[in-house]
Amino acid sequence: MLHLFGPESEWPDQDLIAFSEEFDAQLAYLAYCSGVFPMPLLEGDHPDDMGWWSPVHRGVLPLDRFVASRSLRKSAKRFTTTVDVAFVEVVRRCAAPGRSGGWITPGIIEVYQQFHARGQAHSVEVWDADRRLVGGLYGVSVGGLFAGESMFHDAEHGRDASKVALVRLVDELGRGLSWTERRRDRLLDVQWLTPHLASLGAIEVPRREYLRQLNRVLTLDPPEFDRGEAFRRPGLVPTVGVADDDHDTMQGDADA
């Protein structure tokens, strides 16, 4: 694992560990390899600077703990999902101009487009029966790490669509792996834990434990994403855990 920001023992005891005027794809890539992700400050004394974040308590979603409610599994059958078909559109829809708390700036979009062109970032798209893009997510893939960045759903046409995108992502990351390998060889980073993510199986780990897991998976082969359509074809709803209740909000999910 890289130490772009120095040793973890010297980081401040807070989620924001640094900020800088500089921001480009190479710097961001090295940050992910160091256990740090970029998010613009936008406010305060340095509104034009990039913030570099490594939460003291990191949200992760172990693939062997992922739980999909019965209603979500049923909802998934109403949609078609794809991978990397509309990456830029997914990022732009996640940006949701005018959204309160929005942080996906034009500079962010440009850098993640570069990641995508290099095969280091992927999107999951969710389409309704009329072939409208009604939900999706995107994130960065390095070795066995997938760092989820943001999600969206269309409030009118895509209820549950962002969660359906997560179902597809978990299926892609776990394909061909045993349950032990899913836990050991894949790290699905969700940044901060929310009650909704916890209901889906996400947990919180100390920063040091996250960095330990990251160090283990960075050198592994990344998943090979299947870009075919899923869910509308019989038998392709992933066999994941089942819960009795469902939720309609998710960290980073923008109503479009």
| Adjacent-strand bridge partners of 40 | 50
CB 251 within 8 A of CB 192: yes
Model pLDDT, residue 191: 96
Domain that holds residue 164: 58-255
Residues 201 and 222 in one domain: yes
Give the span between the Cα atoms of 241 and 170, in whole angstroms.
11
Residues 187 and 240 in one domain: yes
- In total, the chain counts a number of residues equal to 256
For residue 111, give both structure tokens. Answer: 């850098």
Model pLDDT, residue 102: 63
176 within domain boundaries:
yes
CB 168 within 8 A of CB 90: no
Give the span between the Cα atoms of 21 and 107, in whole angstroms.
12
- Domain count of the fold of the chain: 2
4 within domain boundaries:
no
| pTM of the predicted model as reported, rounded to 2 decimal places | 0.86
Residues 63 and 51 in one domain: no
Residues 70 and 117 in one domain: yes
Model pLDDT, residue 233: 46
7 within domain boundaries:
no
Model pLDDT, residue 251: 42
Q: Tell me the three state secondary structure of residue 224.
A: coil
Give the span between the Cα atoms of 185 and 239, in whole angstroms.
19
30 within domain boundaries:
yes
pLDDT in tens, the chain (256 residues): 667 899 999 999 999 999 999 999 999 999 999 999 999 987 666 677 899 999 999 999 999 999 888 888 888 888 999 999 999 999 999 987 555 456 788 889 999 999 999 999 999 999 999 999 999 999 999 999 999 999 999 888 888 899 999 999 999 999 999 989 999 999 999 999 988 888 889 999 999 999 999 999 999 999 989 877 776 543 344 433 333 333 333 345 643 3
Give the span between the Cα atoms of 126 and 103, in whole angstroms.
22
Residues 16 and 113 in one domain: no
> Side-chain half-sphere of 121: how many Cα atoms within 13 Å?
26
**Burial bucket for residue 63 (CB in 10 Å: 0-12, 13-18, 19+):** buried
Residues 51 and 106 in one domain: no
Give the span between the Cα atoms of 146 and 31, in whole angstroms.
14
Residues 74 and 190 in one domain: yes
CA distances from 236 to 35, 211, 246 (A): 33, 34, 21
Count CB neighbours of 118 within 10 A: 10
Residues 165 and 187 in one domain: yes
Model pLDDT, residue 234: 37
| CATH number of the structural domain spanning residue 220 | 3.40.630.70
Model pLDDT, residue 99: 54
Model pLDDT, residue 158: 83
CA distances from 116 to 99, 122, 166, 196, 199 (A): 24, 6, 18, 28, 30
240 within domain boundaries:
yes
Q: Tell me the three state secondary structure of residue 144.
A: coil
